[in-house]
Amino acid sequence: MSEPEVVDVYVAANGPQAHFLRGLLEDAGIEAQVVGDALQAAGYNTVTPPHLWVRAEQAKAARDLLRVWEGHVNDRPSEDRTPPTWVCPTCRAEVDADFELCWQCQTPRKPY
Ligand SMILES: [Zn+2]
């Protein structure tokens, strides 16, 4: 078998975004690789943004998925996505979802 042909489907803004999108594609069963980011990891001060490469036969599905993702990003600016909070059953304080205890009275999030 010959090497599968790969296609450049997306230019990411930065390394973390490229790896996030690679995970998104892989969740959808599309094998993807980040190209370009490795140079930065190796210490080269490259200004080339990372590219996402997928196999040619999966390029269309990958592009469709990325277009949907971009649409969601544009539809919902990050400032509109307030982090989820929970309300303390004891003192009614609003607690950030990252915390398992009420910051005010130490009541656990899910008392059993
Ligand atoms: Zn409380």
Task: Kindly report the pTM of this predicted structure.
Answer: 0.55
pLDDT at 112: 44
pLDDT at 74: 66
Contact 36, 46 (CB under 8 A): yes
Q: Distance from the CA of 34 to the center of ligand 1, in angstroms?
A: 45
pLDDT in tens, 91-109: 999 998 888 999 999 999 9
Contact 94, 87 (CB under 8 A): yes
Segments of the chain with pLDDT less than 50? 111-112
Q: Distance from the CA of 78 to the center of ligand 1, in angstroms?
A: 28
CB-proximal residues (5 Å) to ion ligand 1: 88, 90-91, 93, 102, 104-105, 107
Q: Distance from the CA of 8 to the center of ligand 1, in angstroms?
A: 51
pLDDT at 71: 86
Q: Which of 23, 6, 20, 15 is nearest to 48 (CA)?
A: 15
Q: Distance from the CA of 84 to the center of ligand 1, in angstroms?
A: 16
CATH second-level architecture of 6-80? 2-Layer Sandwich (3.30)
Spell out the residues 6+ positions from residue 55 whose beta carbon is closer than 8 angstroms to its own: 4, 5, 6, 7, 31
What is the three-class DSSP state of 72?
A: helix
Q: Distance from the CA of 109 to the center of ligand 1, in angstroms?
A: 9
